[in-house]
Amino acid sequence: MQNISMTINGKPVSGDVEGRTLLVEFLRNDLHLTGTHVGCDTSQCGACAIHVNGIIVKSCTMFAADADGALVDTIEGQANADGSLNKIQQAFQDHHGLQCGFCTPGMVMAAADLLKNNPTPTEAEVRHHLDGNICRCTGYHNIIKAIMAASGQDVSAIAAE
């Protein structure tokens, strides 16, 4: 066991972990931050996507000990300070960008990562940026639409309610 500490969603935390403890396990099991999900074991589905030191990573493919000292952001810290949905979250709700909700935390984190570096992405850029996030419910249409809307672009020409 080794003691690690990090800052998660602005709050300092620490805990004892084994070498093999994955970052997602530390989040879910030790800190009870269950918004970050596990959808596969081959590092592909992106349900576990979070930000470590400001960039998106898959928390199922990083050891907790490797995040010692890091700044970590998860879905639980994304809402506005008053608890209301942030711009991306609100766009997902407005455009029905989620159904079962399981991939959604990873999608929101991926969208935030994209818009930070590319404030007005094209449709193709949004789709490409989601290469590591699998959704089985939506056919992606409304996810793409929501992310483009969150970027301030007019999505009224994109079909459907």
CB closer to another protein, 49 vs 72: 49
For the beta carbon of residue 97, count every other beta carbon within 10 angstroms.
26
Under rule CB under 8 A, residue 47 binds another protein: yes
Give the nearest distance from C-beta 118 to another protein in angstroms: 11
Under rule CB under 8 A, residue 126 binds another protein: yes
Cα–Cα distance measured from residue 5 to residue 68, given in angstroms and rounded to the nearest whole number:
5
Give the nearest distance from C-beta 17 to another protein in angstroms: 9
Under rule CB under 8 A, residue 116 binds another protein: no
CB closer to another protein, 120 vs 160: 160
Restricting to residues 3-42, which ones interact with another protein according to CB under 8 A? Answer: 18-20, 22, 28, 32-42
Under rule CB under 8 A, residue 138 binds another protein: yes
CB closer to another protein, 54 vs 152: 54
Restricting to residues 60-89, which ones interact with another protein according to CB under 8 A? Answer: 60-63, 65-66, 68, 74-76, 78-79, 85, 89
Radius of gyration of the chain (CA): 16
Give the nearest distance from C-beta 12 to another protein in angstroms: 19
Cα–Cα distance measured from residue 115 to residue 34, given in angstroms and rounded to the nearest whole number:
24
Restricting to residues 86-105, which ones interact with another protein according to CB under 8 A? Answer: 89, 92-94, 96, 98-105
Q: Which amino acid is at 115?
A: L
Residue 39 CB partners (closer than 8 Å, separation 6+)? 45, 46, 47, 48, 102, 103, 106, 134
Residue 35 CB partners (closer than 8 Å, separation 6+)? 74, 75, 76, 105
Q: 120 vs 56, 89, 95, 126, 147, CA distance in Å?
A: 18, 17, 17, 9, 10
